[in-house]
Structure formats: structure tokens, C-alpha cells
């Protein structure tokens, strides 16, 4: 029997956010409903985890047509185990799981849409934070790292453009490309304040604020010899602009297309 602080008599309730109406355009507060769910006593092999961080991803909007109205919102979490009848998930450990937008989850450690796992012992390093399990050391960091090292494979000194460079995935991609791979990195974001953060904190070479500047004009200025690689997460007009500045045999990693996620036409995501 695994060690446990399991208390069968206490009634626990989870707060669960559900999709109360289908999204039209950008989701509104009224499209969500907060519900309460009773947590059953644990069975053998189960553990109970309390949400510490919930990741609210753009991806969820993109797949929302597949969700049932009234169902719980899906999403990744870092949750802390507070009761356990499963040796692999001891009380006090932090778990990465696709538990959705809910405060308490009973789980068996099975793979859901992504694997469920206890965070490795990087937490012993005081410079590391639990939230990194959902960011740099989670799916956004992996998407950035493998998109660069397995798909694009840029070489030192080559020019790489990253869109949504102030976002989770884009900011990791740009920093890995600059600080580890030694590329000349141009980042695209909406506004100057975000661009400044990417340059000052992220060390990105050049930035373009697409709300205030002409993307093609700026690319021609920063990359007069053309763009070698494009790490794209937005699609749409920005992607078309970058494409027009690509060199022959340039490479593109299509990692997302956020500009189309809030389209009202079901199933139509413009890349
Ligand atoms: N999170 C993940 O694990 C993964 C995410 N992706 C994809 O990466 C992309 C970004 O996701 P993520 O980094 O998590 O998201 P974030 O929420 O961290 O960043 C999203 C950013 O996208 C930009 N954006 C929003 N709408 C538009 C638009 N219409 N046109 C151009 N840019 C827009 C905004 O930045 P700005 O103000 O600069 O426009 C916004 O801050 C998405 O396409 C997603 O599907 C892919 C793989 C994994
Ligand atoms: C249709 C647009 C795809 C854009 C790519 C993207 O954003 C993908 C992100 C996910 C990745 O494929 C795996 C993930 O973990 C990312 C986001 C998290 C999704 C949570 C799903 C939770 C659930 O299904 O319960």
C-alpha cells in the first residue's frame, strides 16, 4: 500500500470551468460557467491532485468546435498531489497532466491527451520554479526546441524570423536560436513595449511591431540578403509577408496559426 494522507470521510468539491456556449470570435466571459463537482473517495491506484498552475492555451480555441457545450474546458496543469493510493504519485509531488480547468482531479496516472508524469527533481535547484514545467520545460519549450533543432536546423550567423515572439513558444524559440544556436534573430510582435522586452530581456537582435510598422519594409531593412528560416506560429498576413522575403531553399517550421483560431467559420484555420 502506498503512503497516504487519504481521509475518506471529508467531502471535497472541485470547481470546474465548463464551456457554456459555443465560441463566436474571441471567447467571452459569458461563454464559460463555473460548476462544482463532488470528489469521490479514492480507489486503489488513484491519487488526488490540486491545481497549482493551469495553462490556458490558444490551441484550445482552435479545437473548440470539437468540444461539447457543457463539457469541462481541457488544458494542461501542474498539480500538487494531496492524497495518494498510488506509489508513483506520492503526496507532495508535482504532476504535469491534461486535467483541464479544474481545481481538484482524481487520476490514475494514465496518459490522457498527453502523458501524465511527476515533475523531475529540477525543483531542488532554487533557481527553478514549478511553473517551468508548463513553460520552458513543458510543451511550449519542447515545441520551440524541437522545431528549431529537428525541423529548421539553422546554422550560426544565419537569419531566422520568429512570429508571436513575445508569446510562450515564440519567445523560447527566439532565445534558443539566439543564445544557443547563434542565429541572427528577427522577432515579430504587435507592439513596441513587447518588442522592447524581447530585445532587452531576450537578447533578440531586431524586432518588428506589426501594428505600427510595415513587416516587409522592416524585413528588407534588417535582412537585406533575405530570410533563411521562419519559425511561424501565426499564419495569415504576417506569414505571407515573411514568405515574400524568404531566400530560395529557405525553411519554414509551421508550429501554429493563431491569427485564424478565432475565425467564425467552423473548421477553417487559415495558415
Ligand atoms: N503552447 C504550446 O504548447 C504550443 C503552442 N503552439 C502554437 O504557438 C502559437 C502561440 O502559442 P503560445 O505561445 O502558447 O501562446 P501565447 O498565448 O503565449 O502567445 C500568443 C500570442 O500570439 C499573438 N497573437 C494573437 N493573435 C494574433 C493574431 N491575430 N495575429 C498575430 N499574432 C497574434 C499575440 O502576440 P502579439 O501581441 O505579439 O500579436 C499573443 O500574445 C499558437 O499558434 C499555438 O497554437 C504550438 C505548439 C505548442
Ligand atoms: C490546430 C492548431 C494546432 C496548433 C498547435 C498547438 O497549439 C498545439 C498545442 C498542443 C500540443 O500539440 C500538445 C499540447 O500539449 C499543446 C497544448 C495543450 C493542449 C492541452 C490539451 C488538453 C486536453 O486535451 O485535455
Domains located in the chain, CATH noted: 13-118 (3.90.180.10), 139-260 (3.40.50.720)
Ligand closest to Cα of 269 equals 2
Q: What is the pTM of this model?
A: 0.92
| CA nearest ligand 2 atom 5, residue | 256
Distance 179 CA to ligand 2 centre (A): 26
β-bridge partners, 12: 39
Q: How many CB atoms lie within 10 A of CB 254?
A: 14
Please give the number of the atom of ligand 1 that sits closest to the Cα of 76.
3
> From the CB of 184, is ligand 1 less than 6 Å away?
no
**Could you tell me the three cell numbers for 122?**
529540477
Ligand 2 pocket test target in 57, 65, 133, 170 with most atoms within 8 Å of CB: 57
The span from the CA of 242 to the CA of 208, in Å, is 11
Contacts of 102 (CB under 8 A, 6+ apart): 14, 15, 16, 17, 37, 51, 72
12-51 burial string, b = 16+ CB within 10 Å, else e? bebebbbbeeebeeebeeebeeeeeeebebbeebbbbbbb
- 171 in contact with ligand 1, CB cutoff 6 A: no
User: CA-CA distance, 236 to 254, in Å (whole number)?
Assistant: 12
| H or E stretch at 241 | helix 236-243
Q: Which atom of ligand 2 is nearest to the CA of 74?
A: 25
Are 98 and 76 in contact by the 8 Å Cβ rule? The answer is: yes
Would the CB of 169 count as within 6 Å of ligand 1?
Answer: yes
pLDDT tens across the length of the chain (271 residues): 344 455 556 789 999 999 999 999 999 999 999 999 999 999 999 999 999 999 999 999 999 999 999 999 999 999 999 999 999 999 999 999 999 999 999 999 988 888 899 998 887 888 899 999 999 999 999 999 999 999 999 999 999 999 999 999 999 999 999 999 999 999 999 999 999 999 999 999 999 999 999 999 999 999 999 999 999 999 999 999 999 999 999 999 999 999 999 987 655 555 4
Amino acid at each position: 500500500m502506498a503512503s497516504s494522507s487519504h481521509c475518506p470521510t471529508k467531502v471535497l468539491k472541485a470547481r470546474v470551468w465548463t464551456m457554456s456556449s459555443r465560441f463566436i470570435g474571441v471567447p467571452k466571459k459569458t461563454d464559460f460557467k463555473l460548476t462544482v463537482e463532488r470528489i469521490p473517495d479514492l480507489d486503489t491506484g488513484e491519487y488526488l491532485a490540486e491545481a497549482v498552475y493551469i495553462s490556458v492555451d490558444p490551441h484550445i480555441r482552435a479545437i473548440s468546435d470539437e468540444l461539447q457545450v457543457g463539457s469541462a474546458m481541457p488544458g494542461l496543469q501542474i498539480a500538487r498531489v494531496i492524497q495518494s493510493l498510488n506509489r508513483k504519485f506520492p503526496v507532495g509531488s508535482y504532476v504535469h497532466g491534461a486535467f483541464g480547468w479544474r481545481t481538484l482531479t482524481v487520476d490514475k496516472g494514465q496518459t490522457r491527451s498527453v502523458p501524465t508524469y511527476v515533475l523531475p527533481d529540477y525543483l531542488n535547484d532554487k533557481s527553478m520554479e514549478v511553473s517551468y514545467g508548463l513553460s520552458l520545460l513543458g510543451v511550449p519549450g519542447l515545441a520551440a526546441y524541437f522545431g528549431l533543432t529537428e525541423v529548421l536546423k539553422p546554422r550560426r550567423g544565419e537569419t531566422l524570423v520568429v512570429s508571436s515572439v513575445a508569446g510562450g513558444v515564440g519567445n523560447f524559440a527566439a532565445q534558443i536560436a539566439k543564445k544557443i544556436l547563434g542565429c541572427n534573430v528577427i522577432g515579430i510582435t504587435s507592439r513596441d513595449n513587447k518588442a522592447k522586452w524581447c530585445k532587452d530581456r531576450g537578447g533578440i537582435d531586431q524586432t518588428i511591431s506589426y501594428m505600427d510598422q510595415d513587416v516587409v519594409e522592416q524585413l528588407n531593412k534588417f535582412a537585406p540578403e533575405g530570410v533563411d528560416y521562419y519559425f511561424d506560429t501565426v499564419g495569415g498576413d504576417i506569414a505571407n509577408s515573411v514568405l515574400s522575403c524568404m531566400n530560395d531553399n529557405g525553411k519554414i517550421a509551421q508550429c501554429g496559426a493563431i491569427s485564424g483560431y478565432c475565425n467564425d467559420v467552423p473548421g477553417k484555420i487559415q495558415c
